[in-house]
Structure 1
Amino acid sequence: MRFGKRGKASTDGQVGLVVSDESVTAVHIRRGDGEPPRLLARFDGPKDGGSGTLAAWVAEHRLQGVPAALTLDHGDYVIHQLDRPEVPAEELRQALRWRLKDLIDYSPADAVIDVFEAPPARQKRIEPVQVVAARASRLKPMVATINATGLDLQRIDIAEFALRNLLSRALGSLETTAVLHLRPQRGTLQICRDDKFYFARALDQGLDALSYTAGGGTFGGLADVDDRIALEAQRTMDYYDSHFGHGPVKKLLVLGRGAELQRLVDYITSALGLATRLVGAADLVSGLDENDTVAEAMPLALGGALGVA
């Protein structure tokens, strides 16, 4: 989805944002040719109230008119793989909208949808399309919050594409790569190749589970979360290899820093024989140091900004 421009920016660069019910994470970056992106400013704060708001941050850094991207967090949308209907291209979205009616828990009339092509499978057959659906009634307040600041909101992206942007545009990785992004309550493991997103697997285990089991306890009945995540990684890579036929995944990147994540990296390296390493904030963008977290929404905001033309 694209939005009209608001006028010439007072400064250059791009802004990426992630908006939740209570808070906003935003980054202002400059992307140079052949150089890693550089962080110019960062905002982590409440969505409403007081002087420490997104609008105040935009005004302070004179970002009115700067092109921006909103990245939807996991849970704000769904992706479904559907057979492509035999309709003209201009009618595709409308046809798919009503095929979603039994797959979403709200009216298709309240759905904002977009479509992207699935990479071709190993077997020659009619390829399905990937349909992204989000509630318009949930998106509208997010868009209104951003538009009220004067930022030039140009696109709305999903988390999978933001993480793909990190791989190809911040880390320069075009070979087959898996990336693991753990949040407190959940995680996502996805595979990308040649600047293309292939597929993602949602994980029920997150940073909280790693922390609990690090001390010898259990989390949700699990005593060894490292083993469970490694098993999911192996299943994901096996599916990629068998379905797409591009050969094995070359490496796994785990976003974040800390003893629990390093233990997970060491376990996966040993258990799967896969080149696995941690990727910290300073690896993604210059202007951050090793103490800055990448465990929350910042990677999604940064990846969204990298997708702005």
Structure 2
Amino acid sequence: MSLFPKTKKTAGWLSINIQEDGVYMAHVAPMPAARPQVGLTAFYPADKTQTAVTLEKLAKELHTDRYECTNLLNPGEYQLLSVEAPNVPQDELKTAIRWRLKDMLDFHIDDATIDVLDIPGDKNIPERKGSMYAVAAHEQFIKQRQTLFEQVKIPLSVIDIPEMAQRNISALLEPEDRGLALLSFDSTGGLLTITFAGELYLSRRFEVTLAQLLQTDIDQKNACYDRTTLELQRSFDHFERQFRFIAVSKLMLAPLGDGGSGLQEYLAANLYMPVETLNLEAVLDISKVPELQQLQQQQLYFMVLGAALRQEVKAL
């Protein structure tokens, strides 16, 4: 036993996301019988050549050793694949998944770091074989990311993905015994998730970016609205065929910043389910970070806030 205990950790997760324009961070603390509380958000502008210096700076300024830290990956840094659940014992699961993924990855399976996410089936048909999501990233990339955080003295506990970050927010919005669809956009495109009972059941990416949705050219903007609507309709049709036991209550549209109301109105007029725009104040206590009252700020920090809502501890 040490006579000098280590620094006491602050409750909740500090999520860190390295993007093209800099490093985004958010800390969220769980609050018993209340909305989770946002402790901080921060942005450090930097290009990719300055990442290490920037992380070292923020580690000192924010005292990251006080937190449990998670690094949020970006699209292109991993692959998320749906596979049929193999009928094997739990201790043989990852080996079986590796065999199924060997022809599905864009790199050799021996170079992959893999984790799996269960997709629960219909509890009324327990004998039916379910499916799973497999998360695969290049082992060398993961080791480089871990080494980077070690070098700048940020205690990295978990590497996470946007689909699970969005799942965390969706789980706070779900009506009882109903599923919820949540759609977000950023510079890389759109992400649709459907959750039920806190579990991720469907994830689809759309090749429509936030900038395209907010452009001033009306004809091009409407073309993006049309593409988004078509992708949503296809996704919902697929989901209904695959998961007949889940009724999706509505589609929530993540904050888009200024000028995002047009998409909500368009989708509401062209989809068969209710479409609402999310304000994060409905599910998070942002009293310590009042700038999050601005929808533009909510859009910028949407994913890192979702990652900071993490509850289970399961590394990639």
Give the Cα–Cα distance (whole angstroms) in 2 for the partners of residues 51 and 134 of structure 1.
21
Residue matched to 2:63: 62
Q: Which has the higher helix share?
A: 2
Residue matched to 1:302: 305
Q: Please tell me the root mean square deviation across aligned C-alpha atoms, in Å.
A: 2.9
Give the conservation status (yes or no) of the 8 Å contact 1:154–1:308.
no
Residue matched to 1:215: 217
Give the Cα–Cα distance (whole angstroms) in 2 for the partners of residues 95 and 75 of structure 1.
24
Structure 2 segments unaligned to the other structure (5+ residues):
none
- Could you give the per-residue CA deviations for residues 52-111 of structure 1, whole angstroms, max 9, x where no partner exists? 723322322323141122222222211223334454422221232233221112121210
Structure 2 residue corresponding to 1:290, chosen from 287, 294, 314: 294
Deviates further, 195-204 or 277-286: 277-286
Deviates further, 125-134 or 48-57: 48-57
Residue matched to 1:44: 43
Give the Cα–Cα distance (whole angstroms) in 2 for the partners of residues 136 and 173 of structure 1.
38
Give the conservation status (yes or no) of the 8 Å contact 2:52–2:152.
no
Amino acid at match of 1:187: G
Residues 48 and 264 of structure 1: CA distance in aligned 2, closer, same or farther (over 3 Å): same
In the TM superposition, what are the counterparts of 1:78-117 in structure 2 within 5 Å? 78-117=79-118
Secondary structure of 1:43 counterpart = strand
Q: Does 1:227 align with 2:226?
A: yes
Residues 11 and 120 of structure 1: CA distance in aligned 2, closer, same or farther (over 3 Å): closer
**What count of residue pairs does the alignment treat as equivalent?**
298
Give the conservation status (yes or no) of the 8 Å contact 1:64–1:149.
no
Give the conservation status (yes or no) of the 8 Å contact 2:11–2:67.
yes
Give the Cα–Cα distance (whole angstroms) in 1 for the partners of residues 159 and 299 of structure 2.
21
- Could you give the per-residue CA deviations for residues 174-205 of structure 1, whole angstroms, max 9, x where no partner exists? 53111111112411111111101101111111
Give the Cα–Cα distance (whole angstroms) in 1 for the partners of residues 263 and 226 of structure 2.
9
Residues 167 and 56 of structure 1: CA distance in aligned 2, closer, same or farther (over 3 Å): same
Give the Cα–Cα distance (whole angstroms) in 1 for the partners of residues 192 and 174 of structure 2.
19
Deviates further, 286-295 or 132-141: 286-295
Percent identity between the two aligned chains: 25
TM-score by length of 2: 0.82
Q: Does 1:127 align with 2:134?
A: no
Residues 147 and 41 of structure 1: CA distance in aligned 2, closer, same or farther (over 3 Å): farther
TM-score by length of 1: 0.84
Residue matched to 1:236: 235
Structure 1 residue corresponding to 2:181, chosen from 178, 182, 188: 178
Secondary structure of 1:250 counterpart = strand
Secondary structure of 2:102 counterpart = coil
